[in-house]
């Protein structure tokens, strides 16, 4: 698909929000609650810090390179050009987030070099499944939002949106983990359906394709939604939000053990592992209901980076 020249839209999430809106929800926060209500609490209410893993940061770096790749003229979007972007984008990320340097004790040059090489290898996987010289994305790293049920703002960041000459939409999401296993495929599709719902409600168009690009395994997963499915999904999102509200009112966020617990940063505070959650924040009830900042929280390795 091709489109007009790229526009990267970094909108203010709360701009022009109708006065009826009482809360917001992103796909990552919604997925947290579906996975484990206590995880949602730790991340969204307690806002406990989580040290990013090497896998997460590698994913962030690869996303940054792929975003910048489309700044180049079409014929310059080559594997070599992408590789040349890795080190500068890493330097930019570390400048913006100095804590990332702590991933490599004492700034170990060999460890950093291996990290950059591993990111470049994932970019090789990208060029196996797609030729960026034939693409002109309509939007990259774009914040989109819509109001559902008159009171809930749903929003999220698209990795890429392609628009065909006939107006058809293709939502593209880059995954730097392995191709989906059953436990993780549903989470990935949940995220893309979330985006599809926003686009349908704001633009009146159901995306023709929801595409996951798994760079490590050089695989493509396409999914085609329809309006009836998205209407059902909207009801699911609203019901999920109401469940979150009820849990907040009752201060009742229970753990939901699963194999995803193996990658959780908060086991020491989880009753499943003999821990005790911190006191429920008194400020939670009066917190800004629209504060649901962008995040790429701790996906399991190979799942959702």
Domain with 30 in it: what CATH number?
Answer: 3.90.320.10
pLDDT at residue 105, as a whole number:
84
Q: What is the largest CA-CA distance in the chain?
A: 57
pLDDT at residue 260, as a whole number:
87
Of 117, 133, 149, the residue at which a domain comes to its end is: 133
- Does residue 263 share a domain with residue 170? yes
Record the pTM. Answer: 0.85
Alpha-helical (H) ranges within the chain are: 27-35, 37-40, 54-69, 79-96, 109-129, 182-203, 227-250
In terms of residues, how long is the chain? 305
In this structure, are residues 37 and 254 in contact, taking their beta carbons and an 8 Å threshold?
yes
- Does residue 180 share a domain with residue 100? no
271's tokens: 């009753």
Residue whose structure tokens are 């599809």: 196
- Does residue 201 share a domain with residue 89? no
Judge whether 210 lies within some domain. Answer: yes
d(CA 205, CA 248): 34
- Does residue 143 share a domain with residue 216? yes
Spatial neighbors of 91 by CB under 8 A, at least 6 apart, are none
Judge whether 287 lies within some domain. Answer: no
72-76, 120-124, 207-211, 300-304: which has the minimum mean pLDDT? 300-304
Judge whether 185 lies within some domain. Answer: yes
CA pseudo-torsion sign 126, 130, 134, 139:
negative
User: Which domain does 90 fall in, by range?
Assistant: 54-133
pLDDT at residue 180, as a whole number:
56
Judge whether 1 lies within some domain. Answer: no
In this structure, are residues 156 and 198 in contact, taking their beta carbons and an 8 Å threshold?
yes
- Does residue 141 share a domain with residue 129? no
pLDDT of residue 4 exceeding 90, the answer is no
pLDDT of residue 183 exceeding 90, the answer is no
Judge whether 149 lies within some domain. Answer: yes
pLDDT at residue 1, as a whole number:
40
pLDDT of residue 299 exceeding 50, the answer is no
Per-residue CA distances from 41 to 77, 124, 252 (Å): 42, 38, 9
pLDDT category at 23 given cuts 50, 70, 90 is very high
- Does residue 125 share a domain with residue 175? no
Residue whose structure tokens are 């009482």: 22
| Cα angle value 160/163/166 (rounded, 5°) | 165
pLDDT at residue 5, as a whole number:
28
- Does residue 165 share a domain with residue 228? yes
Of 133, 148, 175, the residue at which a domain comes to its end is: 133
- Does residue 148 share a domain with residue 105? no
Tell me the three state secondary structure of residue 23: strand
pLDDT category at 282 given cuts 50, 70, 90 is confident
Judge whether 77 lies within some domain. Answer: yes
- Does residue 84 share a domain with residue 41? no
Structural domain count of the chain: 2
Of 133, 165, 180, the residue at which a domain comes to its end is: 133
- Does residue 153 share a domain with residue 29? yes
- Does residue 183 share a domain with residue 197? yes
Judge whether 24 lies within some domain. Answer: yes
201's tokens: 């409600």
> Which range among 17-31, 226-240, 277-291 has the greatest average pLDDT?
226-240
- Does residue 120 share a domain with residue 262? no
Judge whether 303 lies within some domain. Answer: no
As a whole number, the mean pLDDT across the chain is: 87
């Amino acid at each position: 698909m091709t489109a007009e020249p790229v526009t990267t839209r970094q909108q203010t999430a709360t701009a022009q929000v109708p006065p009826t809106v009482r809360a917001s929800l992103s796909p990552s926060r919604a997925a947290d609650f579906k996975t484990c209500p206590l995880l949602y609490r730790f991340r969204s209410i307690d806002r406990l810090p989580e040290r990013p893993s090497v896998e997460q940061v590698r994913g962030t770096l690869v996303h940054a390179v792929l975003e910048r790749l489309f700044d180049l003229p079409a014929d310059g979007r080559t594997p070599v050009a992408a590789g040349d972007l890795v080190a500068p984008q890493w330097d930019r990320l570390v400048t913006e987030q100095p804590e990332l340097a702590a991933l490599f004790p004492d700034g170990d040059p060999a460890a950093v070099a291996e990290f950059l090489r591993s990111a470049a290898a994932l970019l090789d996987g990208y060029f196996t499944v797609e030729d960026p010289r034939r693409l002109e994305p309509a939007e990259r790293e774009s914040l989109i939002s819509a109001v559902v049920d008159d009171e809930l703002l749903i929003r999220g960041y698209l990795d890429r949106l392609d628009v065909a000459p006939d107006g058809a939409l293709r939502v593209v999401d880059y995954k730097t983990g392995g191709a989906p296993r059953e436990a993780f495929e549903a989470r990935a599709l949940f995220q893309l359906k979330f985006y599809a719902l926003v686009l349908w409600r704001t633009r009146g168009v159901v995306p023709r394709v929801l595409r996951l690009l798994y760079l490590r395994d050089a695989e493509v997963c396409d999914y085609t939604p329809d309006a009836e499915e998205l209407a059902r999904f909207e009801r699911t999102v609203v019901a999920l939000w109401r469940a979150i509200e009820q849990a907040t009112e009752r201060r009742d966020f229970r753990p939901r053990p699963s194999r995803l617990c193996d990658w959780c940063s908060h086991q020491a505070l989880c009753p499943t592992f003999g821990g005790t959650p911190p006191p429920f924040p008194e400020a939670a009830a009066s917190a800004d209901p629209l504060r649901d900042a962008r995040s790429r929280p701790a996906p399991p390795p190979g799942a959702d980076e």
